[in-house]
């Protein structure tokens, strides 16, 4: 008799196009013949969405700042019934994405309830409320109060955490979670399009990302000032969220004022694939990423990557053989270019606000720790400055061109051996097949596990890890 395929109920707040939905789609694409999936979200996906045929809608899962669900037990039972109606039995595994992100107060309670009923859970965090999302954390704190720390990170034999990067894995293990298995995302090249390049006359440096605050657009503009004559820097997408639009508009006006060779929102004006194909190099200056596709995708496109690496994220990739020696960990500039007093005042203000937002008591020693961690030999990493301070640095370099030689040159000429090595590493280690094998291995092990005693990971300790002074960044708030 044929073995029954494992029944996996996938839970997410929504199935809109984008990050987590793409991860779910790739899991389904690569394992659909070996796993029976049912994707339950808080919003009904569009009828032409890839996951629509295997999706169900359950409203309490959607983004919400409203109070707790009126009857938790009844609501959990209704969700289980929805899954049972689809499979004809209880799911073997509940695969839940971003359960502790704080987009509503129901999902962490759902996880705690399912855990206590002995349901096998695969919890896949892509982002954390503790990491620069104070409003999300406050929502959880307000709704769940004293129970928050107990229920947020349940631990048991029948619960596996599948973080997407090295840092998150080490953080989750540090807070005492016993079953943590890293599950890096898969990466594929964009489909090449044909057509004439957008602007073949100039050497183009393309930043293929939506220009939200943590993408550190000021550093991209700094490089446009420092680059050799004849380069055009293209930022592909403007932000959609009005919250980030203000910062973006200021950068657009600033670049125009200084006559910087930057084209904004280039992905809307030109075909995106063409922008990538005709680029001399792709660039990233981001100060925070979840998985870090930006460090893998360029090599599959046959493009050199320049800019900033993120050791918290890229350590894994380098351990697998990816050569990121052409990227820098930090871009130190003399603090006096930004202004020592304004920097320390801003730092104190923002650290104070962050502590308050996370309901942490303020201790002046935290500021001293941050100063000694962030300022080294009179220099500060350009990427931790806020927009106003970054503009001061750029203006300084406009007014004092002789100081530009204190910053390193951009390695615009690619090394063919590095390009070839990195393409092979990205293809073999981060292919959809490799992802499918890792995920199926986790499902198989988890399905064979007997339910065990439930304890809790140390949730306050996780917040402390994310709020360490040396991690502090004025663009992360």
Distance separating alpha carbons of residues 112 and 396, to the nearest angstrom: 54
Which residue's structure tokens are 């007997």? 450
Q: Quick one: 53 and 125 in the same domain?
A: yes
Per-residue model confidence (pLDDT) at position 226? 96
Flag whether 396 is in a domain: no
The conformation of residue 431, written as its DSSP 8-state character, comes to S
Flag whether 468 is in a domain: no
Sign, Cα dihedral of 107, 110, 112, 114: negative
Residue 468 φ/ψ region, left for φ over 0, alpha for ψ in the -120 to 50 degree band, beta for the rest? beta
Q: Quick one: 128 and 248 in the same domain?
A: no
Q: Quick one: 129 and 249 in the same domain?
A: no
Q: Quick one: 414 and 268 in the same domain?
A: yes
Q: Quick one: 211 and 73 in the same domain?
A: no
Distance separating alpha carbons of residues 414 and 400, to the nearest angstrom: 30
Q: Quick one: 107 and 180 in the same domain?
A: yes
The conformation of residue 410, written as its DSSP 8-state character, comes to P
Q: Quick one: 207 and 130 in the same domain?
A: no
Report the domain count for the chain. Answer: 2
Flag whether 266 is in a domain: yes
Q: Quick one: 162 and 208 in the same domain?
A: no
292 phi/psi in degrees, rounded to 5: 105, 40
**Structure-block tokens of residue 50:** 């890839």
CATH code (residue 436): 3.40.50.2000
The set of residues, in sequence order, having a beta carbon less than 8 Å from that of 393 and lying 6+ positions away, is: 222, 333, 337, 338, 382, 385
Which residue's structure tokens are 């689809």? 86
Please spell the DSSP secondary structure of 60-124, one letter per residue.
Answer: GGS---S---S-HHHHHHHHHHHHHHHHSS--SEEEEESTTS-S-SHHHHHHHHHHHTT--EEEE
Which helix (H) or strand (E) segment holds residue 317: the answer is helix 311-319
Q: Quick one: 276 and 180 in the same domain?
A: no
Q: Quick one: 302 and 270 in the same domain?
A: yes
Task: Label the pairing between strands 332-334 and 379-381.
Answer: antiparallel
Task: Label the pairing between strands 231-237 and 332-334.
Answer: unpaired
What is the chain's alpha carbon radius of gyration, rounded to the nearest angstrom? 23
Flag whether 165 is in a domain: yes
What is this structure's pTM? 0.90
Question: How many angstroms separate the first and last alpha carbons of the chain?
Answer: 56
Q: Quick one: 162 and 90 in the same domain?
A: yes
Per-residue model confidence (pLDDT) at position 3? 60
312, exposed or middle or buried, with CB in 10 Å at 0-12, 13-18, 19+?
Answer: middle
Flag whether 198 is in a domain: no
pLDDT tens for the chain, 477 residues long, are 346 899 999 999 999 887 899 999 999 999 999 999 999 999 999 999 999 999 999 999 999 988 778 899 999 999 999 999 999 999 999 999 999 999 999 999 999 999 999 999 999 999 999 998 999 999 999 999 999 999 999 999 999 999 999 999 999 999 999 999 999 999 987 655 433 344 445 799 999 999 999 999 999 999 999 999 999 999 999 998 898 999 999 999 999 999 999 999 999 999 999 999 999 999 999 999 989 999 999 999 999 999 999 999 999 999 999 999 999 999 999 999 999 999 999 999 999 999 999 999 998 999 999 999 999 999 999 999 999 999 999 999 999 999 999 999 998 889 999 999 999 999 999 999 999 999 999 999 999 999 999 999 999 999 999 999 989 999 987
Residue range(s) defining the domain that contains residue 217? 203-331+408-425
Q: Quick one: 211 and 306 in the same domain?
A: yes
Flag whether 464 is in a domain: no
């Amino acid at each position: 008799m044929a073995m029954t395929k494992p029944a996996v109920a996938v839970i997410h707040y929504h199935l809109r196009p984008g990050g987590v939905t793409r991860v779910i789609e790739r899991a389904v694409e690569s394992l659909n013949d070996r796993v029976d999936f049912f994707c339950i979200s808080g919003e009904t996906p569009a009828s032409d969405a890839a996951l629509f045929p295997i999706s169900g809608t359950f409203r309490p899962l959607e983004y919400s700042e409203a109070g707790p669900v009126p009857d938790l037990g009844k609501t959990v039972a209704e969700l289980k019934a929805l899954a049972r109606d689809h499979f004809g039995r209880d799911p073997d595994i509940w695969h839940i994405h971003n359960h502790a992100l704080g987009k509503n107060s129901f999902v962490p309670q759902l996880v705690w309830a399912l855990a206590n009923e002995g349901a096998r859970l695969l919890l896949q965090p892509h982002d954390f409320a503790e990491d620069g999302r104070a409003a999300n954390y406050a929502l959880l704190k307000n709704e769940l109060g004293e129970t928050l720390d107990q229920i947020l990170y349940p631990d048991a034999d029948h619960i596996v955490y599948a973080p997407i990067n090295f840092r998150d894995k080490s953080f989750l293990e540090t807070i005492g979670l016993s079953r943590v298995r890293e599950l890096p995302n898969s990466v594929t090249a964009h489909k090449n399009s044909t057509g004439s390049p957008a602007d073949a006359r100039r050497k183009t440096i393309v930043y293929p990302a939506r220009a939200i605050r943590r993408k550190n657009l000021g550093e991209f503009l700094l490089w446009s000032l420092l680059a050799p004559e004849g380069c055009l820097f293209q930022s592909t997408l403007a932000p959609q969220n009005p919250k980030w639009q203000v910062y973006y508009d200021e950068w657009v006006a600033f670049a125009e004022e200084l006559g910087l060779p930057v084209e904004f929102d280039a992905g809307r004006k030109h075909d995106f694939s063409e922008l990538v194909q005709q680029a001399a190099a792709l660039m990233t200056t981001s100060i925070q990423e979840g998985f870090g596709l930006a460090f893998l995708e360029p090599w599959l496109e046959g493009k050199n990557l320049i800019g900033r690496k993120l050791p918290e994220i890229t350590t894994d990739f380098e351990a697998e053989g990816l050569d990121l020696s052409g990227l820098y960990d930090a871009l130190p500039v003399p603090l006096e270019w930004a202004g020592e007093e304004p920097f320390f005042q801003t730092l104190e203000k923002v650290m104070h606000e962050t502590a308050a937002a996370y309901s942490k008591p303020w201790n002046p020693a935290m500021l001293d720790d941050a100063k000694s961690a962030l300022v080294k030999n009179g220099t500060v990493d350009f990427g931790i400055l806020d927009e106003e301070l970054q503009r001061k640095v750029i203006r300084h370099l406009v007014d004092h061109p002789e100081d530009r030689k204190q910053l390193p040159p951009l390695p615009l000429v690619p090394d063919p051996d590095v390009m070839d090595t990195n393409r092979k590493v990205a293809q073999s280690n981060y292919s959809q097949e490799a992802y499918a094998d890792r995920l199926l291995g986790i499902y198989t092990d988890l399905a064979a596990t007997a339910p065990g005693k439930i304890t809790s990971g140390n949730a306050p300790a996780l917040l402390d890890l994310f709020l360490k002074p040396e991690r502090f960044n004025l663009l992360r708030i």
